[in-house]
Each structure stands twice: as C-alpha cells, then as structure tokens.
Amino acid sequence: MAVKKTGLGKGLDSLIPNKQNSSKAESKPVKEKETVVKTVVKKEEIKLKITEIEPNREQPRKKFDEDALIELADSIKQFGVLQPLIVQKRDGYYEIIAGERRWRAAKLAGVKEVPVIIKDFTEQQIVEISLIENIQRENLNPIEEAIAFKRLLTEFHLKQDEVAERVSKSRTAVTNSMRLLKLDERVQQMLIDDMISTGHARSLLAVEDKDLQYRLAQRVFDEKLSVRDVEKLMKSLAKEAKAEKQEDKNEFVYQDFAEKMKALLGTKVSINHKSNNQGKIVIDYYSNEELERLLYLFQSIHSD
C-alpha cells in the first residue's frame, strides 16, 4: 500500500525531533552532521528492565498475531532487540508509545532489559504516533483503525481533513473506515477475525436491520460469496424492499376503501387485493334480515 508522505505520516522519525541535533548540525558539513546524529541517538538510547515497562492501554492495536510474535522472539534470542522502544515516564512505570510488539516478543524471548528512548508527548500525540506506527506497518485490523480515527475526531476534536493529513490517507478513506463502526458488533467481530473482508462489510452497510445484517454476513462466510455476489444480493434486497414499501402503501389505500364501504353498508367489509390489480370484496352479514337489508340497499342504489 503506497503511503503519501505528508504531515505526521512522514514517519516516526519526524515525530521524534532531536533537539540537541538541530543547532550543532547546521554549521557542519554533511558527513560531520551524520556523525553527530548517530552520537546523539546513542546518548538518548538507554536500557530499562522489561518489568518497568507497560503497554499503552489506549493503543489502537488490540490483536497480535501469536505466530508472528514467536518468530520475532526467536530473532530477538539470536540478535537482541535491534530497534529501541519509544516510551514515556508515568507514575512508577514507563508507558510504551511505539514498539509494543517488540516488547511482547522480548518477554517471550526471556529478555530482561530492552533498549528504549524516553520522550515526553501529549495524549493526542501518543494516539497519533501509535496509530501512525501501526498504519505504516499495516498492523491494524479495519475496526481497530476505525476506532482510532473516531477517537481523534471525538476526543481530540480534530476534523476529518486533519485526521486524514496526520495519517497520510484521503478524507474519503478515513470516512469509509469509520462507517464500519455502524455495522452490527457481531459483524465487526467477523471482520476482525477475517471471516469476511472489508469489501463485504462495506456492502453489508446497506442493510439497516442488524439481525439481517448478521445473518447475511454468516451467509457470506458459509457460502464463500465474493464481494460482487454480495453487491448483487444487496441490489436484490433493495428491490424487494421497494416492492414491499409499495405494497404497504397500497394496503393503506385498500383499508381506507374498506372503512368507507363499512360506513356506507353498516357491516364489516374486507378487500382482498392481488398484485395484478384484481381482488375480492367480502361483505359480512350475520342474519337473514341483515342480508335482506343489504339487498334492499343495493337495489335502491341501483334504482337511483
């Protein structure tokens, strides 16, 4: 997936500026500048006990691939943690801003200490950095990504254009992502579990009835329907719904006719109509006298 290089989407390096580097590097040649940068990074990087570090409870990513973690843990056993974690000091511990996957794998590998860079960020910056890191690595499932976008909008009062700029996505992509949160929770879980694709999920948004939406999602999974199949199914359902709506409208009209005939004849009247504009009128009577009265009424109407 191509990533547009704008705003915070330039990468984590652009989010973690090196204050010591800016003034010294300006007056030096390029080669010396590179040397200074490497030296400063070395000084900023320290090691912390892994027990002193805890994950960010608000980080967008909730699901981690266990097999991938085991593979990374095997690599860490051989070569160590090659890229430092970004952490922030909290009361009594250090909170991970970027690198929770490495931290989890290091724990699996039995590592006692990990390299870290300690930084100080606002709550909004923490969310943005965590979101960008995961998006750049394509680690988030569609629902996790949508929840993170919504949080930037609601909790930090950003506009959709601002969110799009920060994560290097189009405004349409951000909008379509958040629309997935309108899905039934059971359907959202099916999307998280890779039982249906994002394309399937977006097609199912056309169904407002949550139970029907879930049943259709199950059908997609059971019958291995393609996105095109689901789109055709949605069109068919929309056509049926339109026909039912027209039928309901007609039903109201026929009920009104029946009520007027009831008032005119003084007895119960039912109209059974068919789709071809034909049907039956049923007039109830409850005695021979009432039948004779109706007959007389019809004769008088005819004679008039």
- C-beta separation of 156 from 124 below 8 A: yes
CB burial of residue 287 (10 Å; 0-12, 13-18, 19+): exposed
Q: Distance between CA atoms of 240 and 44, rounded to whole angstroms?
A: 65
Q: Could you confirm whether 100 is annotated as catalytic?
A: yes
Q: Distance between CA atoms of 68 and 84, rounded to whole angstroms?
A: 19
Torsion angle defined by CA atoms of residues 71, 77, 82 and 84, in that order, rounded to the nearest 10 degrees: 90
Q: Which residues, including other chains, have CB under 8 Å from residue 35's CB and lie 6 or more apart?
A: none
User: DSSP 3-state assignment of 49?
Assistant: strand
Sign of the torsion angle spanned by Cα atoms 86, 90, 94, 95 = negative
For residue 62, give the nearest of 100, 96, 98, 97 by alpha carbon: 100
- Which residue shows structure tokens 């992502």? 177
- Which residue shows structure tokens 């006692």? 112
Of the candidates 95, 100, 128, 133, the residue annotated as catalytic is 100
- C-beta separation of 198 from 142 below 8 A: yes
Just list the catalytic residues: 100
